[in-house]
Structure 1
Amino acid sequence: MQLFLAIAAILGGLAVAGGAFASHALQNQLTERAIAVFNTGVRYQMYHALALLTVAMLLGTAKQALPWLTAAGWCFIVGVILFSGSLYLISLAGLKAFGPVTPIGGVAFIAGWVCLAVAALRWA
C-alpha cells in the first residue's frame, strides 16, 4: 500500500529530525528528564516507522487483500500519534494531562503487533 509506504517514510524522517533536534536544540532548553521522555517518543516512532515500512512492503507483494496486515499498519500509525505525540507534548509543552494518552498509544502498538502475527498465521 503506497499510503503506508509514504507515511512510514515521513515518520522515519521526522524521527531522525526529532532526535537531532533533541540532541542539539533542546539540550539547554529542557531538563534531562524531559529530553529522555522526548527521546522515548522518537525511539518508538522510529521502531514503528520501520514496522509500517515492513507492512507496506508485505502488502505490496500480496496477491490478495490482507485485512489483518492493513489493520496492523493503521494500529502502528495510531500508536505513533498517541504514544509518541503525547510524549512530545509532555516533554516540550509540559502538558502532563496527556500522560493518560500514552498507554493508549502503547495498546495500539501492541494491537498492531498482534494483527501482524495474525496476518502471518493466516497468510495463504
Structure 2
Amino acid sequence: MNKTILITASLLGIIGIVLGAFGAHGLKQLISIEAQQTFETGVRYQMYHAILLLFVGNTAYINLKTKRIIYVLVMIGILFFSGSIYGLATNALTSFDFKSIGFITPIGGLLLILAWSFMLIDFLKMGSKNSN
C-alpha cells in the first residue's frame, strides 16, 4: 500500500506542476485573471494533497487501514475538488457546462477534510497508547 500511495503522490505532484505551468502560461490569453486564479486554487490543493500522500506513504504512525481510507478519500476528493475547479475555470473553452456539476466541488472538499480527520484520529489514538 505504501508504494501505491507514494507512486500516486508522485504522479499527482507531476500533474500538478504540469497543470500549474499550463494555467500560468497556456491559459493566460484564453481565460480571465479570475478564472486563472480559480485554476491555480485547484493546482494548489492538488499539490497540498500530493505532499500529504507522500507523508502518509512514508510514516509508520498511521495504521494500514487508515492509510487506505485516507488514500481513497484524497483521490476522490482531488478528482471532485480540483477536477471540478479545473473544469469551472476553463468552462468558457469547452462545449460542456461544468457549472452543471459544480456541486461536486464542496463534496470533494469535504472528502479532503475527512482524510485529514482520519489522520488526526489515528494520531490521537497513538498518543493515548504511548502515554501509558
Global fold match (TM > 0.5): yes
Unaligned runs of 5+ in 1: none
Larger-gyration structure (1/2): 2
Secondary structure, aligned partner of 1:30: coil
Give structure 1 regions of 4+ aligned residues with deviation exceeding 4 angstroms. none
CA contact (8 A) 1:15 1:45 kept: yes
TM-score by length of 2: 0.84
CA contact (8 A) 1:72 1:116 kept: yes
Partner letter of residue 77 of structure 1? M
Q: Over aligned residue pairs, what C-alpha RMSD do you find?
A: 1.7
Hey, what's the Cα distance between the residues in 1 that align with 2:88 and 2:101?
A: 7
TM-score by length of 1: 0.89
Unaligned runs of 5+ in 2: 93-97
Alignment partner, residue 75 of structure 1: 73
Secondary structure, aligned partner of 1:7: helix
Hey, what's the Cα distance between the residues in 2 that align with 1:34 and 1:78?
A: 23
CA contact (8 A) 1:41 1:87 kept: yes
Hey, what's the Cα distance between the residues in 2 that align with 1:77 and 1:116?
A: 15
Hey, what's the Cα distance between the residues in 1 that align with 2:71 and 2:108?
A: 14
Alignment partner, residue 124 of structure 2: 121
Among all aligned residue pairs of Structure 1 and Structure 2, give the percentage whose two residues are the same amino acid: 34
